């Protein structure tokens, strides 16, 4: 009997432990949301698109490895009866990093009413995104919009961020928050939003992917400049098979000195081993004595705490001031020339008609004078005296003269038909990026370039998004292309065409 009681008690205890384990053990989801599914959810719950009114198709690109993790992009095509929408979403480690509205035709079908301003639209977006991610920081960024004037350019510094608002009269507004500590910016740790007439243009979130490793600064600006000059004196330039040593550097060669948060890249120097962790860095630009090919200077990065040299990079440009000292005036002069040519061409039009009238006015009396007989000018009697026997003789010189005028008219009118230069001056703008592929410095990964870092590429994407939005609002046609990581596109801006990377 006692054995049965013990068995029963043991069985109950075992079952209770087993049931408790089932409740304590974490549940495993049947499936994890893919990048494509996440994008659909964001378009619906964050952007606010009424997907029930669209037929949705997508193109998912292969995953790529970046310094911050795994990146993947998806492009969505939304089509309805009255609207078409093309949106690109890029995810980093499963989190949304970039969202860009590539093309919009017609009014977007929204689940809620259209916001009354770009500022209200930005607040609503951040509020919905905070609910989607459960990250409280987005709510703090939203609160900073309450004290700004939405109709003017504004810079506002808060405890840990710098808000820059760029408002255009065309209806485009850009909001950008950059992480700031004690007045020192972390340029790669930012969040940016762009709205065009209350509709989302793009969203870039590089805030959550980076952290601050240290805020300790022991190096002054003067000390940083001195270190940079000493580095420049020991630096050498290889041009083909020749090596050029430049050692005449002093304080006058310093072009700039900036204190910022960055991560030590391009060299074997490592503070944490994690490229997403930022540290205080002094970046000093040293100008060379002249141009060496496309090289005009070097940039020296050093740890603002210890003074340790992080990297020494070349500063390159294909626009040579020595060869073209005033590039902007070149375009201004060409535009002024076009205006002058247009004025000249337009002024020739009344001149042509004046010549034509003078020709007719002079030739007609001359022809009539030919018909004089016995010092009497035949005026209107040529028409009246149709039965005159001399009519045939009188009309011969008149007809011949008129034919000469008729033959002269096409030559004069030909001048009128010459196409004139457009009165609207046009120009060409060039978006230029440094060609920084290759040139590895002890790194095996293809994305660690010593002249261009991955955050620079992210910033370029954000800048290109903003630029494309500005040009779009001024009547330019926008075409967007994706450049491979580390590659460079040289794009020209002309009326009717614009390209971004």
pLDDT digits (tens, 9 = 90+) for 387-424: 344 444 444 444 444 444 444 444 444 444 444 444 44
If we measure between CA atoms, which residue out of 431, 472, 475, 460 comes closest to residue 102? Answer: 472
Q: List all residues 6 or more positions away from 258 whose beta carbon is below 8 Å from its beta carbon.
A: 282, 283, 284
Helix (H) or strand (E) holding 392: helix 391-417
**The token pair that represents 245 in the structure block:** 């040593």
Is residue 465 scored above 90 in pLDDT?
no
Of the ranges 46-60, 114-128, 371-385, which one carries the lowest mean pLDDT score?
A: 371-385
| Higher-scoring residue by pLDDT: 47, 347 | 47
pLDDT at 315: 81
Region 148-155: what's the mean pLDDT?
A: 86
The rounded distance, in Å, linking the Cα atoms of 53 and 51 is: 5
- pLDDT-derived band at 368, boundaries 50, 70, 90: very low
Distances (CA, A) of 416 to 183, 329, 349, 419: 64, 32, 6, 8
* Percent of residues, the chain, with pLDDT higher than 70: 53
3-state secondary structure at position 43 = helix
- pLDDT-derived band at 310, boundaries 50, 70, 90: confident
pLDDT at 466: 60
If we measure between CA atoms, which residue out of 89, 195, 182, 191 comes closest to residue 142? Answer: 191
Region 310-318: what's the mean pLDDT?
A: 81
Region 434-442: what's the mean pLDDT?
A: 39
pLDDT at 223: 96
Of the ranges 66-80, 115-129, 467-481, which one carries the lowest mean pLDDT score?
A: 467-481
Question: Crossing angle of helices 327-370/391-417, nearest 10°?
Answer: 180
3-state secondary structure at position 50 = coil
The rounded distance, in Å, linking the Cα atoms of 124 and 112 is: 11
CB 225 within 8 A of CB 284: yes
pLDDT at 378: 35
User: DSSP alpha helices (H): ranges in 49-178?
Assistant: 118-133, 137-143
pLDDT in tens, 323-343: 444 333 333 333 333 333 333
- pLDDT-derived band at 304, boundaries 50, 70, 90: very high
Is residue 44 scored above 90 in pLDDT?
yes
pLDDT at 170: 86
In the Cβ-directed half-sphere of 174, how many Cα atoms lie within 13 Å? 21
pLDDT at 200: 94
| Higher-scoring residue by pLDDT: 200, 311 | 200
Is residue 73 scored above 90 in pLDDT?
yes
| Higher-scoring residue by pLDDT: 233, 361 | 233
Whether pTM > 0.85 for this model: the answer is no
Residue matched to tokens 């005026």: 379
pLDDT at 269: 47
If we measure between CA atoms, which residue out of 222, 137, 207 comes closest to residue 176? Answer: 207
Region 108-129: what's the mean pLDDT?
A: 92
3-state secondary structure at position 269 = coil
Region 184-209: what's the mean pLDDT?
A: 92
Helix (H) or strand (E) holding 491: strand 491-493
How much is the mean pLDDT over the chain? Answer: 69
């Amino acid at each position: 009997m006692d054995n049965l009681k013990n068995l029963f008690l043991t069985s109950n205890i075992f079952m209770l432990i087993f049931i408790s384990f089932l409740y304590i053990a974490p549940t495993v989801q049947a499936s994890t949301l893919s990048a494509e599914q996440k994008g659909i959810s964001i378009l619906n719950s964050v952007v606010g698109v009424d997907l029930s009114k669209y037929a949705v198709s997508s193109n998912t690109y292969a995953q790529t490895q970046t310094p911050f993790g795994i990146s993947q992009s998806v492009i969505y095509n939304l089509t309805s009866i009255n609207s078409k929408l093309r949106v690109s979403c890029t995810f980093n480690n499963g989190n949304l990093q970039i969202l860009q509205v590539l093309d919009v035709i017609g009014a977007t079908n929204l689940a809620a009413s259209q916001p009354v301003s770009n500022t209200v639209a930005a607040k609503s977006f951040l509020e919905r995104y905070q609910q989607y991610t459960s990250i409280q920081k987005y709510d703090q960024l939203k609160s900073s919009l309450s004290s700004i004037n939405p109709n003017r350019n504004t810079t506002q510094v808060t405890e840990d961020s710098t808000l820059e608002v760029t408002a255009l009269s065309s209806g485009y507004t850009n909001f950008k928050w950059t992480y700031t500590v004690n007045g020192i910016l972390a340029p790669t740790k930012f969040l940016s939003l762009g709205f065009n007439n209350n509709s989302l243009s793009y969203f870039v979130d590089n805030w959550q992917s980076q952290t601050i490793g240290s805020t300790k600064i022991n190096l002054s600006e003067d000390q940083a400049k001195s270190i940079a000059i000493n580095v420049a004196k020991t630096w050498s330039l290889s041009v083909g098979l020749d090596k050029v040593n430049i050692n005449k550097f002093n304080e006058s060669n310093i072009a700039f000195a900036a204190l910022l948060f960055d991560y030590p890249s391009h060299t074997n120097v490592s503070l944490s081993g994690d490229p997403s962790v930022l540290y205080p860095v002094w970046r000093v630009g040293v100008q060379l004595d002249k141009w060496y090919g496309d090289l005009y200077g070097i940039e020296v990065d050093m740890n603002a705490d210890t003074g340790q040299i992080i990297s020494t990079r070349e500063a390159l440009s294909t626009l040579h001031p020595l060869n073209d000292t005033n590039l902007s005036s070149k375009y201004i002069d060409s535009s002024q020339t076009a205006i002058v040519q247009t004025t000249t061409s337009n002024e020739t039009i009344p001149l042509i008609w004046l010549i034509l009238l003078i020709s007719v006015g002079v030739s007609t009396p001359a022809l009539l004078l030919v018909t004089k007989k016995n010092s009497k000018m035949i005026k209107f009697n040529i028409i009246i005296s149709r039965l005159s026997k001399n009519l045939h003789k009188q009309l011969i010189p008149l007809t011949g003269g008129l034919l000469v005028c008729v033959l002269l008219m096409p030559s004069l009118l030909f001048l009128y038909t010459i196409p004139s230069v457009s009165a609207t001056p046009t120009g060409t703008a060039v978006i230029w990026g440094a060609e920084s592929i290759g040139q590895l410095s002890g790194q095996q990964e293809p994305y660690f370039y010593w002249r261009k870092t991955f955050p620079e590429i992210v910033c370029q994407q954000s800048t290109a998004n903003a630029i494309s939005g500005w040009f779009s609002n001024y009547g330019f046609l926008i075409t967007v292309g994706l450049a491979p990581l580390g590659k460079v596109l040289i794009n020209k801006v002309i009326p009717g065409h614009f390209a971004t990377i």
